[in-house]
Structure 1
């Protein structure tokens, strides 16, 4: 509770507040960033509150980013949501403000900022933003509720992941009480385009699974072009292998335009983020990302995953 009160006092102090989040955003990144923006605007209508970053086309249904000038950072409060380390912060001007706050639920390997609120027991940063509002008796608008609920649902895999706690359900229930289009949001988050459905079918047809449940699939640039899918859209099928009962942990290797591979790693119950850290990445114990710069490194990452599965 002390953390939320201190953040509120900082918000009260500054006239301009600029909100950042991580690159390649997911629903929690945008939900927490723009959800917090809506909460501040609702409760402090005299303040200038801006959200910056790349407008991700696949999440255009959630929110659009603001245009932020360099001058607006002068003596501004900057809050970075849902971003574990500085290289992943979208818009590198985050350090140009008067005070920097980090709000996150990832392991705190990069303790940046003048003030930090990092809670690794939280399902999502959107859960933390909801808690921040409730503990400080701030009004949550229906639009803020929609965004925060989407963020919680996104990072819990619709409340399936182990990070889902009693508090997660409590925060979601408080948001559900507000008047946003819950059914429409649920349909939006559960739907996929036909091309994504075909890609998911490819993943199932080509998934390699070893005897201990370690699995992988590679999505090449040629394949992405054939299916007319970009890198951001591949995020929508990351959870697909986990629906197979024989799969324990898995990785989707997505070839990038420059030839290196973005590695999306997931696990049902075995810790994988140490593998990610050894390969230029990191993240949660059961949900991490890494980078690979050759087919040989792809194989090395998979061997390390197989060792984890073997020694469970």
Structure 2
């Protein structure tokens, strides 16, 4: 029996299914979460399906999370999507259910769950949820379920331009476009920014530091974020911007948190940056990872490691 069939069989055993995703979500985290919930609700109308996690105003167009009591976890199946390691799961009650399933497309450095379906070759977990839908001819999904999965794929592939995009990704996207929703609306929504975000984009370009090796970084302090009337969830849209600069090979965006630590978003056009992320309480893909810096000293260490990585990368390219 395939892992997809095993997951569907396990879902069939439970009256209540609770779905978690990672903290500080992106379109794939929410799209896969809401898309999976739609698949289960549409295929099994009598099941109680709940989505857990902090609700962000900017992502309400993809769906809204539920208020879930501790009691609802009793005898429930819990599914965690798009989350590589346990500390990143939004809401630590994910261990409180009767059984746990992990569905993810990051490297499986933190194995957890009674069942695991991890496919690092997938462009997104939204792509994987569509594969789960296609695994059984009895499965059903609504137009809205297809819409949020498509949005998740568009988000995690960078509009189909990242290396994770494969021929299968386009097959899945083609299948989803047969449902009734507007591709244009999704494209516009994912590209849309407001005035504070436009000002943040300008700040990033004006203040980005680029080393001779092509390693770039910028530090967004609480003071900067507050001056632009932004929340931490709003900074995600500027993460790809340094990659538009030809001289930049990889980059780190440091976003200060309320506890004075810094969330780090790491991206690369070539060198694998996930090993750096692992050194700083993080992880992720070779070209897209996240981590945490406790203070200014750790920020300096990450910047140094990124520059060293590029030096080695350039040497290999010259050999």
User: Shorter-chain-normalised TM-score: which range?
Assistant: over 0.9
Q: Could you give the per-residue CA deviations for residues 89-122 of structure 1, whole angstroms, max 9, x where no partner exists?
A: 1122211111110000011111110000000111
d(CA) in 1 for partners of 2:78 and 2:261? 32
Note if 1:294 corresponds to 2:298. no
1:296 positional shift:
2.2
d(CA) in 2 for partners of 1:294 and 1:51? 33
1:295 positional shift:
1.8
Q: Could you give the per-residue CA deviations for residues 44-68 of structure 1, whole angstroms, max 9, x where no partner exists?
A: 1011111111112221111101122
- In the TM superposition, 1:35-184 aligns within 5 A as 35-137=35-137, 138-184=139-185
Specify whether residues 296 and 190 from structure 1 end up closer, same or farther in structure 2 by C-alpha distance, changes over 3 A only. Answer: same
d(CA) in 2 for partners of 1:301 and 1:92? 28
Regions of 4+ moved over 3 Å = none
Root-mean-square deviation (Å): 1.1
SS of alignment partner, residue 62 of structure 2:
coil
Q: Which ranges in structure 1 are unaligned for 5 or more consecutive residues? A: none
Q: Could you give the per-residue CA deviations for residues 175-220 of structure 1, whole angstroms, max 9, x where no partner exists?
A: 0110012211111111101110111011111111112211111111
When the two structures are superposed, what TM-score results if normalisation uses the length of structure 1? Answer: 0.97
1:255 positional shift:
1.6
d(CA) in 2 for partners of 1:70 and 1:303? 44
d(CA) in 1 for partners of 2:295 and 2:98? 42
SS of alignment partner, residue 61 of structure 1:
helix
Q: Could you give the per-residue CA deviations for residues 61-82 of structure 1, whole angstroms, max 9, x where no partner exists?
A: 1110112222221111111111
1:208 counterpart residue number:
209
* Total equivalences in the alignment: 312
- In the TM superposition, 1:242-281 aligns within 5 A as 242-281=243-282
1:217 counterpart residue number:
218
1:83 positional shift:
0.8
